[in-house]
Chains A and B, each alone.
Chain A
Amino acid sequence: MRQKLVVIGAGMASGRVLEHLLEQDPEAYDITLFNAEARGNYNRIMLSPVLSGDKTYAEIVTHDDEWYARNNITCRFGEHVVKIDRDAKQVVGQNGTVDYDKLLIATGSAPFIIPVQGKDLKGVITYRDLDDTNAMIEAAAKGGKAVVIGGGLLGLEAAAGLAERGMDVTVLHLMGHLMERQLDESAGFLLRRDLEQKGVTVMCGASTAAILGETCVEGVMLEDNTGLEADLVVMAVGIRPETRLANDAALSVERGIEVNAQMQTSDPDILAVGECVEFNGALFGLVAPLYDQAKVVAHTLLDQPAVFVSKELSTKLKVTGCDLFSAGDFAEGEGREDIVFRDPGRGVYRRLVLEDDCLVGAVMYGDTTDSNWFFGLIRDKTEVAEMRETLIFGPSFQGGSAVDPLSAVAALPRDAEICGCNGICKGQIEDAIAAGANDLGAVRAVTKASGSCGTCTGLVEQVLAVTLGDAFVMPTSQPVCGCTDMTHEDLRRMIKSQELKSMPAVWQACGWKTSCGCHVCRPALNYYLLADWPVEYHDDPQSRFVNERKHANIQKDGTFSVVPRMWGGITTPDELRAIADAADKFAVPTVKVTGGQRIDLLGVKGEDLPAIWDDLNKAGMVSGHAYSKGLRTVKTCVGTDHCRFGTQDSTGLGIKLEKALWGSWTPHKLKLGVSGCPRNCAEATCKDIGIVCVDSGFQISIGGAAGMDVRETELLCQVETEAEVMEVVMAMTQLFRENAKYLDRIYKWMAKVGLDWIKEQIDDLENRTALAERFELSQSIYRKDPWAEHVKKADSYQTLGDLTLEAAE
């Protein structure tokens, strides 16, 4: 007589099993099929087109009632199986029990719900089945705001679909970039940009604290206390294999139900298939492997030999309207080589990872046409040595040309501003060239482009090269580093004119050849971005040299030096006592008076830093930034307070200046001096900015140095009031911040742009005020004590652990 097969779960995996089984031997089993969903098998991966309205449910049904009837399968849809009784070999459904000879568990997975307050409110839904999808469609009909928690495949598909249906959608993602498991940072950035163009707001590094509302959701609260309004919350933070039944039945379960290569669980009469299983420690979240499993299950049920082997996985993802692909292992690794190709014009990004002449991983964005070819190379471990050079261009390009260093500039729109000083756009330069200006001088003559500060010269030359082709020979200029062909000046112009506000944005738009830069370009980029976009860009400590990351100077023995500010070189007995106490408490080996009119505590242990800072903070002292490419010191002399020659309050002015400028980041260190008279006891005329007081007012001069080069400052202007000094110095500092190359002191930068150009900018009162205002805006963010901030995260200065303590047990 026929054997009884009971199947729990009518999903994509079990659906395939039934097809294989029936086509090989329709007579083998009496089949009973349970499904918690009140319907049979449909193509779950097509739910997104249903959500976005491109398809109807009817179109994605794979097995209809007629099919089940024809194959006389007893369907118990809309009925949960609640228990498996292995001794009685019975399955207990909500509406009664069924006997089995063989049992197939295909319960898929359950969406993971983050355990936050409000998770059970009406209007909080997951994205797993048709009911969820319909709930979203219904909610979207009312319009309003939706918050999607989770920036993975599901979350983004939900977001894109809801946006298409007219909702105002925000995606909250815990990690630094979207779909971090499938995409690297650069591809993640492009995806984000495309979604934002669809009107979806994306917040990365956002962790949900609570879901708010009385009976229905009204909003979402983030850990950082940002509040978001929401009429609908979609939770898509991941899935967990649905193993509850198997657990209760005491089958062996790890993260999923453990199966052997025949897809049998620890009980040979019970098989499992799909997302609910674990095989050799691996879980499965995509249909391809499930279909292979399904074949094996069918064979095992018919006592035919078969083995399941998990294959290399590729994901060609179809987040509505965005083209992305990732396959294999694209992490960097030993003996691995990266090939990166970026076409800023078409928003294309490709990254190939090679290991011993084979392709092991690939990430593609924007153009995935060749993805199958690349996936083939990975799967078959094809030798790619010969085509190495042109591999990245795909099959059609074999033997094609190499990456064009000019592509970034070629991709700029005509209205992209090239010359900031004279507001000249790419189009105007192209026109000038068309009208016969075929070298830099000529372009300069007719358009003025690069005629002023000259920092955009590189870009103008590239426009010439792009437009004239071989007719123009590019003068070779120093690129920032091996990661790019652009010079610092080119970069600064691109960041401004293309409004690039994040590192991945720059890497993409400027055709970076590496995936995440190097120790040369990252600190420079970090500075340029925070100087040009103080509000939008957030400082990246990991792209800073240790001194600026730890806010102390590293010493040759790995200890640090601590230099608290002494405004204008003025201190008090209390401050000195506090410094003395700190020196005692932390056994500081050397206490030294610096060349900058303050005291240096040298030889402090890294893990003691937060504690010593805390003590100094409590005594009212803040970081002296003796380590920063930023404002260092404002040296002063005693001036009118005490000196018989003093003409103005040089000490007071110095303190005012230091309090206005401290905390600001600059291309290189910035040092000021204020002397009370031309005797210049504060050495003001060898500082980056020096002020010498005279009876009639103040002489402000710039570009001094007394380090590797010794330079005397040159006069910028003379003003009458302290208020004017403050504005000029702030404007001057901002001009330097906005235009100089990273690691140029003022004197070096001045040699390039010329004192006259700087004077023009500062003498133009409107411009001066505007500069000072931009400086003030930036200071509203950076004029704070980094020590106090770091004391708050003191534990990050401690060691992770101490294995020396584990003495012989």
Chain B
Amino acid sequence: MSTLMNDWIDISPLDAIPQRGARLLRTIHGCVAVFRTAKDEVFALDNACPHKNGPLAEGIVHGNAVTCPLHNWVISLETGAVQGADEGQVATYPARVEDGRIWVEASRLRRRAVA
């Protein structure tokens, strides 16, 4: 799918998510987990583990990875790729912090007027 990076939306203040934590964003494709790392970087990924749809937002965040709460698969927040022996891929969406607020690129996430 081609994405024109033209739909950045202001989601919330950075502080709405604890460091090494995540919160959910409801979208037409189901929930997207927005993560905040210890270094205050943010990442947006589908909230479903490739293993058995574990809710990644509930996992433990370490470095730039999250460990799925159900069976401990480790997923890279950068690439959405499953780390280590296991294999799988989670969809990721562009996200960034600006002036203490979280922005997510939503062209793939919401219904658009023009379609």
User: 12 interchain pairs (CB within 8 A)?
Assistant: A331-B41, A332-B39, A332-B63, A335-B78, A517-B62, A543-B60, A554-B69, A558-B53, A800-B24, A803-B110, A807-B111, A808-B113
Interface residues of B in 51-82 (CB under 8 A from A): 52-55, 58-64, 67, 69-70, 72, 74, 76, 78-79
Interface 1/0 per residue, B71-100 and A, CB below 8 Å = 010101011000000000000000000000
Q: A256–B38 Cα gap in the complex (Å)? A: 29
Q: A800–B37 Cα gap in the complex (Å)? A: 17
Q: A536–B79 Cα gap in the complex (Å)? A: 38
Q: A543–B19 Cα gap in the complex (Å)? A: 11
Q: Is the Cβ of A554 less than 8 Å from the Cβ of B26?
A: no
B113 CB contacts on chain A under 8 angstroms: 808-809
B74 CB contacts on chain A under 8 angstroms: 519
Q: A550–B21 Cα gap in the complex (Å)? A: 12
User: Would you call the interface of chain B mostly helix, strand, loop, or mixed?
Assistant: loop
Interface residues of B in 10-69 (CB under 8 A from A): 11-12, 16-21, 23-28, 31, 34, 37-41, 52-55, 58-64, 67, 69
Q: Is the Cβ of A515 less than 8 Å from the Cβ of B63?
A: yes
Interface residues of A in 494-540 (CB under 8 A from B): 514-519, 522-523
Q: A516–B44 Cα gap in the complex (Å)? A: 21
Q: A331–B19 Cα gap in the complex (Å)? A: 14
Interface 1/0 per residue, A788-809 and B, CB below 8 Å = 0000000010011111101111
User: A269 within 8 Å of B by Cβ?
Assistant: no
Contact of A803 among B28, B52, B60, B63 (CB under 8 A): B28
Interface 1/0 per residue, B98-115 and A, CB below 8 Å = 000010001001111101
B28 CB, min distance to chain A CBs, angstroms: 5
User: A413 within 8 Å of B by Cβ?
Assistant: no
Q: Is the Cβ of A542 less than 8 Å from the Cβ of B59?
A: no
* Chain B residue at smallest Cβ distance from A557: B53
Q: Size band of the A side of the interface?
A: 35 or more
* Chain B residue at smallest Cβ distance from A255: B99
A803 CB contacts on chain B under 8 angstroms: 9, 25-28, 106, 109-110
Q: Size band of the B side of the interface?
A: 35 or more
A545 CB contacts on chain B under 8 angstroms: 60, 69
Q: Is the Cβ of A801 less than 8 Å from the Cβ of B12?
A: yes
* Chain B residue at smallest Cβ distance from A176: B19
Q: Is the Cβ of A801 less than 8 Å from the Cβ of B26?
A: yes
Q: Is the Cβ of A516 less than 8 Å from the Cβ of B110?
A: no
B76 CB contacts on chain A under 8 angstroms: 334
Given A801-B11, A808-B111, verify A542-B60 contact (CB < 8 Å).
Answer: yes
User: A556 within 8 Å of B by Cβ?
Assistant: yes
A617 CB, min distance to chain B CBs, angstroms: 23
Q: Is the Cβ of A550 less than 8 Å from the Cβ of B58?
A: yes
User: A278 within 8 Å of B by Cβ?
Assistant: no
B78 CB contacts on chain A under 8 angstroms: 333-335
Given A541-B18, A799-B23, verify A808-B112 contact (CB < 8 Å).
Answer: yes
User: A658 within 8 Å of B by Cβ?
Assistant: no
Q: Is the Cβ of B60 less than 8 Å from the Cβ of A332?
A: no
User: A164 within 8 Å of B by Cβ?
Assistant: no
A185 CB contacts on chain B under 8 angstroms: 38
A507 CB, min distance to chain B CBs, angstroms: 12
| Given A542-B20, A800-B102, 12 further pairs, Cβ under 8 A | A176-B19, A334-B76, A334-B79, A338-B63, A516-B38, A542-B18, A542-B21, A543-B20, A554-B70, A558-B54, A606-B55, A800-B12
A744 CB, min distance to chain B CBs, angstroms: 19
B111 CB contacts on chain A under 8 angstroms: 804, 806-808
B72 CB contacts on chain A under 8 angstroms: 519
Q: A91–B115 Cα gap in the complex (Å)? A: 55
A558 CB, min distance to chain B CBs, angstroms: 4
A333 CB contacts on chain B under 8 angstroms: 41, 64, 78
B21 CB contacts on chain A under 8 angstroms: 541-542
Contact of A556 among B62, B70, B79, B106 (CB under 8 A): B70
* Chain A residue at smallest Cβ distance from B61: A542
B62 CB contacts on chain A under 8 angstroms: 514, 516-519, 522
Given A514-B63, A518-B62, verify A800-B23 contact (CB < 8 Å).
Answer: yes
A804 CB contacts on chain B under 8 angstroms: 26-28, 110-111
User: A546 within 8 Å of B by Cβ?
Assistant: yes
B63 CB contacts on chain A under 8 angstroms: 332, 338, 514-516, 518
